Amino acid sequence: MKRLRKAIAAKDLETAKETLPVAVRAIDKARSKGVIHSNTAARYISRISLAVNRAAAE
């Protein structure tokens, strides 16, 4: 997550697109273990995907 946020802030699209699936897997794993609520996980995934897509559009 931290690597993804830094890549988005630095407009490093290549790194952001590489780390997005890693971040999504980490969020899904936390959701499946019950660390975070299912809706919270969906919200996090939605927001980071949107951020990467917006950065790519610019």
- What would the pLDDT profile of 36-50 be if each residue is shown by its tens digit? 999 999 999 999 999
Give me the pLDDT at residue 55, please. 93
Q: What's the CA angle centered on 57, arms 53 and 58, to 5 degrees?
A: 125
Give me the pLDDT at residue 24, please. 97
Give me the pLDDT at residue 58, please. 81
Residue 56 token pair: 């790519």
Give me the pLDDT at residue 26, please. 97
Find how far residue 8's CA is from the centre of its chain. 10
pLDDT digits (tens, 9 = 90+) for 5-55: 999 999 999 999 999 999 999 999 999 999 999 999 999 999 999 999 999
Q: What's the CA angle centered on 19, arms 15 and 24, to 5 degrees?
A: 155
Task: Find tokens 């699936």 and name the residue.
Answer: 21
Give me the pLDDT at residue 13, please. 94
**What values do phi and psi take at 29, rounded to 5?**
-65, -40
